[in-house]
């Protein structure tokens, strides 16, 4: 058997390929950013063709840097930005429109109109575990069919396919228009608003409500099985494509959160905390999402509660690209370290509204508490602290829904290299924060899913055995200061609400 597993991590800002060995350690990587397209305020798009080109290139980069070929790869796992919708022509292989990204808010009227038919934002929640919101894929597909010339007619003829970016990548890897396999897994399907949580099957009634023909939808398979093989002449010809997990579920799997009550938080473009709730879905009463955690082969489905935060790492990117206060993302820690605290400034990054636990699409970003004393160091610190405060709000909701207070939080993702942020996170939560030795657990989870499918790893115990702690941050802030800062944060959040009206879009 070959010695390595390849993971493709198709993220919101970049696509990466990472080669892992049997110990779950990174051998080599390749990474390329793709363009963020903003046609209008609140609209966010990606070029799906650019993503596919970058996918091929990063696989070549990773294999070349590791001095490997496809013959050294036993299986490929895919993890991806969820809820980002791609609609393409099955005959030509060309997208009919740019991919509409999960952060995009153009579908608010669609969500409102569906809710107005009865049930409001919770119209489908008991079936799909999600509120009606711009976040999810289904309304984005409806928007494309309603607004792209000829798209609906093509869809009704059976000529169009839909998928999150996992389905787009797998279809292209396995042949594209020349016989590509159109599949997804339950973690991605559960983010469309179109899948029944209990049966893991598409809900024809909801698809009809959104005007989405069933012929567009990919086949739902488990998160760990051989779906097909790399196409001849491609980057990994004949290699099994054997794992698909949405990015946050992949990180949960890579963090070995296999027991009920285990939780992780991923710090990426957004922040996403998942809590393993076992083999029965639990509907949240506190603004969280009920989602599929993972399904390995024919084993029982594992569910999770999720707190989704739209903007965390992308706020650092905004500080770099839009304001020019830093020239690279890692510089923010050095800038934040020039001051002792936030100087009274709080930054609520509601650029796409507020996600969990508020679900307020009418919110917009606000920097509050400004005085002449505040400088760019204070703003940098407020940017970092925004991520930690938002995580605290989600953790409070999880504690309320689960009835169990978390005693520690496993963390992963690009921002966990920022030790200033991690210490403040522990301080504002009041529990230890733990970083694993392999912080890229999103890609690692996809690798594990693929490797388990082909017998490279034996199962969950191998994942547990490979997991190792790198660093732990313990709280050092006293209770009174923690409560004061959190109270001011909650006050700052109220300043962002009810901003969007008929005249301001």
Annotated binding-site residues for glycerol read 82-83, 135, 247-248
Binding residues for ATP: 12-14, 269, 313, 317, 414
What DSSP string describes 4-72? EEEEEEE-SSEEEEEEE-TTS-EEEEEEEE---B-SSTT--EE-HHHHHHHHHHHHHHHHHHTT--GGG
User: What's the rounded Cα separation, in Å, for the pair 447 and 43?
Assistant: 32
φ, ψ of residue 368 in degrees (nearest 5): -120, 165
Q: Give the C-alpha separation, 64 to 70, whole Å.
A: 10
Count the neighbouring beta carbons within 10 Å of the beta carbon of residue 494.
Answer: 12
DSSP classification of residue 214: G
Which residues belong to the annotated binding site for ADP?
12, 16, 269, 313, 414, 418
CB 352 within 8 A of CB 104: yes
Binding residues: 12-14, 16, 82-83, 135, 247-248, 269, 313, 317, 414, 418
In contact, 188 and 162? CB cutoff 8 Å: no
- Structure token pair of residue 448: 């594990």
Q: What are 47's two structure tokens? A: 């070029």
Q: What is the DSSP string of 282-345?
A: ---SSSPEEEEEE-BTTSPPEEEEEEEES-SHHHHHHIIIII-S-SSTTHHHHHHTTSSS-TT-
Binding residue numbers for sn-glycerol 3-phosphate: 12, 82-83, 135, 247
Give the dihedral sign, CA 202/207/213/217.
negative
> How many angstroms separate the Cα of 176 from the Cα of each of 172, 173, 232, 281?
4, 7, 11, 35
Distance (Å, whole) CA 27 – CA 5:
10
Alpha carbon distance 168, 52 (integer Å): 8
């Amino acid at each position: 058997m070959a010695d390595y597993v390849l993971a493709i991590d198709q993220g919101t800002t970049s696509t990466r390929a990472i080669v892992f060995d049997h110990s779950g350690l990174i051998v080599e990587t390749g990474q390329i950013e793709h363009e963020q397209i903003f046609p209008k305020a609140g609209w966010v798009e990606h070029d799906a063709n650019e993503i596919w080109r970058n996918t091929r290139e990063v696989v070549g980069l990773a294999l070349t840097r590791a001095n490997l070929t496809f013959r050294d790869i036993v299986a490929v796992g895919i993890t991806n930005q969820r809820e980002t919708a791609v609609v393409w022509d099955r005959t030509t292989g060309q997208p009919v429109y740019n991919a509409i990204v999960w952060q995009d808010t153009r579908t608010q009227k669609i969500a409102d109109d569906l809710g107005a038919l009865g049930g409001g934002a919770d119209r489908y929640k008991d079936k799909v575990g999600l509120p009606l919101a711009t976040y999810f894929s289904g309304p984005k597909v409806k928007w494309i069919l309603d607004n792209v010339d000829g798209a609906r007619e093509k869809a009704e003829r059976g000529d169009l396919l839909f998928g999150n970016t996992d389905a787009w990548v797998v279809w292209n890897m396995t042949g594209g228009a020349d016989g590509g396999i159109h599949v997804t897994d339950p973690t991605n399907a559960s983010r469309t608003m179109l899948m029944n949580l209990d049966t893991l099957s598409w809900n024809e009634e909801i698809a009809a409500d959104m005007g989405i023909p069933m012929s567009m939808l990919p086949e739902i398979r488990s998160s760990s099985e051989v779906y097909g093989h790399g196409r001849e002449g491609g980057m990994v010809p004949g290699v099994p494509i054997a794992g698909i997990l949405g990015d946050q579920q992949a990180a949960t799997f890579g963090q070995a959160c296999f027991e009920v009550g285990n939780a992780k938080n991923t710090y990426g473009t957004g922040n996403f905390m998942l809590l393993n709730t076992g083999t029965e879905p639990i509907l949240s009463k506190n603004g969280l999402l009920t989602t599929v955690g993972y399904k390995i082969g024919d084993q029982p489905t594992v569910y999770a509660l999720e707190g989704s935060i739209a903007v965390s790492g992308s706020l650092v990117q905004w500080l770099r690209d839009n304001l020019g206060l830093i020239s690279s993302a890692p510089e923010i820690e050095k800038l934040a370290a020039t001051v002792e605290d936030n100087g009274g400034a709080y930054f609520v990054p509601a650029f796409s509204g507020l996600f969990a636990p508020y679900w307020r699409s009418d919110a917009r970003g606000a920097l509050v508490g400004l005085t002449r004393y505040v400088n760019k160091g204070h703003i940098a610190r407020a940017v970092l602290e925004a991520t930690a405060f938002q995580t605290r709000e989600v953790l409070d909701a999880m504690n309320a829904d689960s009835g169990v207070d978390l005693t520690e939080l496993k963390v992963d993702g690009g921002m966990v290299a920022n030790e200033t942020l991690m210490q403040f996170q522990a301080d504002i939560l009041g529990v230890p924060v733990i970083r694993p030795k392999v912080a890229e657990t999103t890609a690692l989870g996809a690798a594990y899913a693929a490797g388990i499918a082909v017998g490279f790893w034996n199962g969950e115990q191998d994942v547990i055995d490979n997991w190792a702690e790198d660093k732990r941050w313990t709280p050092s802030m006293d209770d009174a200061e923690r409560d004061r800062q959190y109270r001011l944060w909650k006050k700052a959040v109220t300043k962002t609400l009810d901003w969007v009206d008929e005249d301001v879009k």
